[in-house]
Amino acid sequence: MKPFVDIHDVTHVYARAEDGLPAVRNLTLKVNEGEFAAIVGPSGCGKSTLMKLATGLQFPREGTVIVDGKQVGAPVKLAGMAFQNPTMLPWRTTLDNILLPLEIVEPHRSRLRRHKAEYVAKAEALLEQVGLKGQGHKFPWQLSGGMQQRASLCRALIHEPKLLMLDEPFGALDSFTREELWCVMRDLHAAQKVTIILVTHDLREAAFLSDRIFCMSARPGRIVAEREVEFPRPRDLEIAYAPEFSALVHELRGHIAQARKAA
Ligand SMILES: Nc1ncnc2c1ncn2[C@@H]1O[C@H](COP(=O)(O)OP(=O)(O)OP(=O)(O)O)[C@@H](O)[C@H]1O
């Protein structure tokens, strides 16, 4: 099977990097279609840079980035994104925030006005899927942090992206809310058949959600370990308290400890 995301031997230096050191060097990773991949690594190792390279917000100095069979040369339209800060527009209702990508991404942009009811129904179905049924009329500031993050997942999925990039999406939430959102994410992945790349500092999150975990070295980042996660799906939260889960997290922790040293 051809990988859906194929990052091959990529080196990237930011034009304004004061020390001239690459953010990532000889970075190679492959993610298959429909797979849930997680990227973990020490702070500043280039995880966000990897996300920008995969979505065409940055272009590598060396190496190739291929998504869905095409070399990335412009922002990737088939991608949806969610970040640690949900960044909802405060003057728009939650529903109108969710519809926002449709005002930008074709073919939805040209269809939106005439097919508004169809899109609203889709947004409402997504809201129901993430546990926010009937909350679309509220403004973001009327929602808790966890609810805003649920809504931002709907916004990332409204245009049916084939690739979903998640950059620390649950990082700002308390641990109970975070676990709830893991289950939301697990169910969305099962329902939507989307390929997901999740960047996270949380090794338990990576172990619970993903099929494959990549560990990055300290800057300049490259992949130093790749680990398949074999817990059967659908996964129950209870698995996160089982000895084999703790053993995996412990193993990953060892890779990160090594990665902090190795550059
Ligand atoms: N626009 C930029 N200009 C110059 N240097 C940058 C820029 N963006 C990131 N960097 C540098 O590149 C390196 C990698 O940054 P990146 O944000 O990708 O790391 P990260 O692993 O996501 O960090 P963290 O885990 O702290 O969120 C860092 O040393 C950072 O300072």
Tell whether ligand 1 has an atom less than 6 A from the beta carbon of residue 227. no
45 Cα to the center of ligand 1, angstroms: 7
H or E stretch including 110? helix 108-111
Cβ 12 under 6 angstroms from ligand 1: no
**All domains in the chain, ordered by first residue:** 1-78+176-263 (3.40.50.300), 89-161 (no CATH)
- Ligand 1 atom having least distance to the Cα of 24: 14
User: What are the backbone angles phi and psi of residue 229, rounded to the nearest 5°?
Assistant: -110, 120
| Whether residue 200 has its Cβ less than 6 Å from ligand 1 | no
**Predicted confidence band of residue 24 (pLDDT cuts 50, 70, 90):** very high
Query: What spacing in Å lies between the alpha carbon of 22 and ligand 1's midpoint?
Result: 10
Question: Residue 262: its pLDDT value, please?
Answer: 59
pLDDT above 70 as % of the chain: 99
145-149: long-range contacts at Cβ-Cβ below 8 A with a sequence spacing of 24 or more?
Answer: 145/86, 145/172, 145/173, 145/177, 146/173, 146/177, 146/180, 146/181, 148/86, 148/88, 149/82, 149/86, 149/173, 149/181
Q: For residues 176 and 94, which has the higher predicted lDDT (pLDDT)?
A: 94
pLDDT digit string, tens, across residues 35-93: 999 999 888 889 999 999 999 999 999 999 999 999 998 888 888 888 888 789 999 99
| CB 102 within 8 Å of CB 119 | yes
Average pLDDT over residues 99-120: 89
Atom of ligand 1 minimally distant from the CA of 44: 23
Q: Is 186 helix (H, G, I), strand (E, B) or coil?
A: helix
Distance of CA 22 to the CA centre of its chain: 23
Mutation pick for ligand 1 pocket among 27, 47, 200 (CB with most ligand atoms within 8 Å): 47
pLDDT confidence tier of residue 263, bands split at 50, 70 and 90:
low
Of 143, 171, 20, 22, whose CA–CA distance to 82 is shortest?
Answer: 171
Mean pLDDT of 127-132: 92
- Asked if 40 and 87 count as a contact pair (C-beta separation under 8 A), the reply is no
pLDDT (average), residues 27-40: 96
pLDDT tens profile 177-199? 889 889 999 999 999 889 999 99
The residues with which 163 forms a beta bridge, in sequence order, are 79, 195
Q: Provide the mean pLDDT of the chain.
A: 92
Distance 184 CA to ligand 1 centre (A): 29
171 CB-contact burial (10 Å; exposed 0-12 / middle 13-18 / buried 19+): middle
**Taking the CA of residue 31 as centre, how many other CA atoms within 13 Å lie in the half-sphere pointing to its CB?**
30
241 lines ligand 1 (CB under 6 A): no
**Is the CB of 43 inside a 6 Å radius of any atom of ligand 1?**
yes
Poorest-confidence range of 136-145, 200-209, 254-263? 254-263
